[in-house]
Structure 1
Amino acid sequence: MSARFIPNSSEAYALVSTVSRHHFPSGNAEAGLAVLQRNAQEEIDGLEADSTSLGDALGTTLTLAEAHCLMDPRAAIYPTWDAWVTAMQVGSAVFAAATATEEYVQCRIAHKDRALQATGQQWYVHPGTWITAFYLAVICREKDRITALCQVPVSLLRENGSRFEEYDYAWIDTLQTYWLGGQDLVPKLVSAVDGTDPETVADPETVGKLVYPPMEMFHRFIRKDHEGFNRALTQALELHKQYWSEEDRAVSISGLVALAPLAMTCLAHDAGIPVEVESEYLPAVLIGRNWCGEFPT
C-alpha cells in the first residue's frame, strides 16, 4: 500500500477514546431548525414540478440532518433520524432521476412517493454529490439504494464538466468495486490514495484533513485491522475538528457531523469491528442502526 498509510505499530498513533466536538453556538438552534425544516419541505414539495431542483434539495436536507445533531448529537430522537432518512432519499433520487430511461421515476421522499421527471445530466450530478449520496445510504443501511448508486457509471459523473480531481473518480471506483464485489479493489484504493498526495493537489488542507482520512479508514476496514481502524478513526475525527475549528468555518453546520468517517464507521460496525472511539461528530445511534426499519423508507 501507499507509504501515506498509517503503520500498524501502536506507537504510530495513540488510541484516544473520546474526541470532543469544537464549540458551536446553540442559542438559536430551535428557531434555525424550524427555518431549515420549512425550507426543506418547500423544496421537496416542489420536486415533482421541477425535478432539476434535486441538487438544491439535497444541500438543504443534508444541512437540516446535520443541524439536528447540534442538540441531539447521538441522533437519539425520531426527528433526527427522519431528517437523515429524508436527506438519504433525496441523494438517491438525484441519481435515480439522472439515470432514468423513462420520462418519470418513482422516488419515496419524506414519507411520500413522488413522480420525478428524468433529468439526465445536471450541474449537481458530479462526484461530490455521488459520494455524499453513497455515505448517506450507508449510514441509513439502504442496501438497494447503495447498489443502485454503485451502478451509476463513473462516465456520467465525468460528463458534468465541473473540475474534480482524479482521486475523486478513483475513490468512487473503489467504493463501487467494493460494494459490487468487483476486481482490483486494492489497486483502485491505492490509486485513490496516491491521488491525494499533498504535493500534487490544489487544496492540500482539505484533502489531507477531510478526503484522505476516510480512505485510510477504509483501508483498515477491508484488512479487518480492528486496532488500525480505530487509530485511523481517531485521527480522522481530530483532523475534522482541526479543519472545522478554523474561525471562518467554525459556525458552518457542515462541521457538526463527520459524514465520511461516520459512513466508514457504519460499514465497520456492521462487519463486526468494535468501534472504540466516541465523539459528538459520530452520532452513536446512527452507528448502532437503532432506528432502521421504524418506518418505510
Structure 2
Amino acid sequence: MNYHIPSHRIDEPAYRLKEKKFQEKRSKKIDSLSQSTLSASMTASTVYRYARIALTLDPEAGELKTWEAWTAAMQVYNALFELSSTPEGTEVECMIDHRMRTLTATGPRHFTNAGNWETAFFLAITCRDEKRWRALCEFPVETLRESAQKGGISYNEYAYHWVSALQAFVLNRPGLAEHLARAIELSDPRNGAFGGDMLDKLVFPQMNAFRHFADGNSSAFNEALAEGLTAFGSYHTATPERAEDIDGVVPLGLLALACWAHDRHQHHPEFTLEVESGYLPKYILDGGWVGEFPV
C-alpha cells in the first residue's frame, strides 16, 4: 500500500533574502571551533538550524549547497562526541565543512547528553556514515545520563532506554526488545513522562516505526511511518507559531528510519518503502548526494 503524506511549508521570505549570509555565518561558526571547542554544542545547534533553513528553500535537497549544509550539521554534532570521548586538551582531527580541522578535546561535558546523541546518530544515518553511527553506539549510556545531570538537564527515563535500544540494534547486542518495550512504556504520559502532546505525536511514532523496522515487517513499518509523519505535521501546525517554527521542517528520526528502509530494500527487495512525503527530502532519502565529497 502506498502512502502520500502532505507536508506544510514554512514561508519565511527573510530566509531567501538572507541565504548567503546564513552560509557565511555557518562557515564562521565552524571556523571558531579551532579557537575554542567549549561552545561546540551551541555551534552544532546553530549549524543544524542553518541546515533546516536550507531545506525550507530547497525542500527536496536537490541542490549541492543544501547537502553541504546538511552534512556540516552531521559533522559538527558527531564532533561533539569525538571531542568529549577524548582526554581534555588532546588534539582531535575532524572533517567539517570540506576541511580537516584540528580541534581541542574537551573530555566529558554537559553537551554529551541523550538529546544531542540522538541528533548526531540520526544525522549520521541520513548521511550514510556508518562509521560515525556505529562509533556513537559505543558511547556509554551512563555517560549520557551523567553529562545531562552535570549540566542540569532533565530527560525522561525513556530516553536512555531508547538510546540503549538503538545501540543494541546496531551492535547486535542483547536487550533490544526489552529496552524498546521499556522506552515505549515510559514515554506514556500516564506513566509520568513529561512533554505534553509531543510524546504522542513526536516521540512514540518514531519508536513504533523503529519497532517494525527492527522486526523486518515492511507493511507495518510503512503504516507506522505514515502515521508518524501525519502526527508530526499535526503537531507542527497546531498553532500559527509552530507552523512557522524551523523545527517543523523535517522529522529527523523518521527521516533516518526511512533512509534505513530505503537502503535495506537494495539488499532485501521484499522490504519496500512505500511512503512519499514532503517531510522526507528526496535527495537525502535516496542518498543522491552521497559520495559527492568526503564527509
- TM range, smaller chain: over 0.9
2:156 aligned residue: 165
Distance 2:18 2:140 in 1: 37
1:291 aligned residue: 289
What secondary structure is seen at the aligned counterpart in 2 of 1:248? helix
8 A contact 1:127–1:169 mirrored in 2: yes
1:4 aligned residue: none
1:3 aligned residue: none
Q: Which of structure 1's runs of 4+ aligned residues deviate more than 3 A?
A: none
Does residue 28 (structure 1) correspond to residue 20 (structure 2)? The answer is: no
Distance 1:148 1:271 in 2: 21
Distance 2:154 2:48 in 1: 23
8 A contact 1:43–1:53 mirrored in 2: no
1:105 aligned residue: 92
8 A contact 2:124–2:132 mirrored in 1: yes
Distance 1:178 1:130 in 2: 16
8 A contact 2:169–2:214 mirrored in 1: no
1:237 aligned residue: 229
2:63 aligned residue: 77
Structure with the largest fraction of helix: 2
Does residue 181 (structure 1) correspond to residue 166 (structure 2)? The answer is: no
Q: 1:53 aligns with which of 39, 43, 55?
A: 39
C-alpha RMSD of the superposition = 1.4
How far is 1:180 from its partner? Answer: 0.9
Deviations 1:219-247 (CA, angstroms, capped at 9, x unpaired): 11011111111111111111111111122
Letter in 1 for 2:59: P
Q: 2:189 aligns with which of 193, 198, 209?
A: 198
Distance 1:75 1:291 in 2: 9
Letter in 2 for 1:85: T
Change (3 A) 1:233 1:32: farther
Q: 2:106 aligns with which of 112, 119, 122?
A: 119
TM-score, normalisation: structure 1: 0.91
**Aligned-residue identity in percent:** 34
Does residue 44 (structure 1) correspond to residue 36 (structure 2)? The answer is: no
Does residue 147 (structure 1) correspond to residue 139 (structure 2)? The answer is: no
1:263 aligned residue: 256
How far is 1:145 from its partner? Answer: 0.5
What secondary structure is seen at the aligned counterpart in 2 of 1:108? strand
How far is 1:34 from its partner? Answer: 2.6
8 A contact 1:16–1:234 mirrored in 2: no
